Each structure stands twice: as structure tokens, then as C-alpha cells.
Amino acid sequence: MRNADLLVLVSALGLLAYALVGCGRRSPERGGVLASATLTPGVLNEAVTQATIRSTICVRGWTTTVRPPTSYTSALKLRQMTAYGETGPPAAYQEDHLISLELGGDPTDPRNLWPEPYPRAAAVDRLENELNGEVCSGALSLADAQRKETELKHDYG
């Protein structure tokens, strides 16, 4: 292997490792941290399907029955902030579900949770509730709402 080929290979592997870790994943428009598709791809709650929404996500207060305790999410947030390369104070982040509980995301799987910075986290919470309303009214399918939410958190700041 020529030196030039080796240099290209090493550079490509370095970029791949950087992308897999998700470090520096920021929205260029707003400077906000985005969810890493590698670290936080999103995981669904198997109990929530289009057929079960009337007994799960469309029941007022249902999310409180599946929400993990803050002792779990606070410890996970610290570990994930390190994985994301975030060094700010933990209080500046909400340990958020990539696919929200309101849309049938897994409550505790670390692949469905990430440290989302404020004030973006509060704005996204409102969108999650709006999408839940659209699913429960029949205006949007559960799968379409989950896809919209995932795209928002992975691609837009």
C-alpha cells in the first residue's frame, strides 16, 4: 500500500470514528446539539402500536405510568453528556426521549434517550404533545408521527 493510500485510509477511519461517537453534532443554523443517529437511534415501546393507541398514548396520564425515575435519567444524562462531548452543567440539559413517551418511545432504553439542551428541549416538548394530538385524532398515523419526531431531533436545530 502506498503512503498516500494509507494516509487516505487513516483519515477516513478517523472521520468514521468521529461520526460514530457523535461528537460535535451541532445544528449549523442554531448551534444546538442534535441527537446522534448512532448513539441515539430511537427505540420503540413494544406495547404501543397503532392498534393500541386508544389504551396507551391516547389515555390522559398514561406517560406517567411508564416514565423512568429521575434517579435513572439523571445518572444516564451524565454518561451521555460525556459520550456527546458536552461539558456544560447538567441542569442545562433535559434527558429526553428521542421518540417521546407520547409517541410510543421506549421509556428506559439508553438508545432512546439523549441530553437535549434547553431551551430547545422545552420547545420540542410542545411539538411532541401536538403530534400526540394528531395521532389520537386520527389526522396522522403513529408511524408518521414517530418519523417526524425522529427527523426533527436528528436533523434540525
pLDDT at 32: 60
Name the residue among 69, 126, 124 with its Cα closest to residue 93. 124
Give φ, ψ of 49 to 5 degrees.
-135, 170
Name the residue among 65, 60, 74, 66 with its Cα closest to residue 129. 60
Name the residue among 121, 101, 145 with its Cα closest to residue 35. 121
pTM score, whole prediction: 0.78
Q: Which residues of the chain have pLDDT under 70?
A: 1-32, 157
pLDDT at 11: 41
In angstroms, the CA 141 to CA 103 distance is: 10
pLDDT at 157: 54
Which residue do the cell numbers 390522559 mark?
Answer: 60
Name the residue among 103, 97, 105, 102 with its Cα closest to residue 46. 105
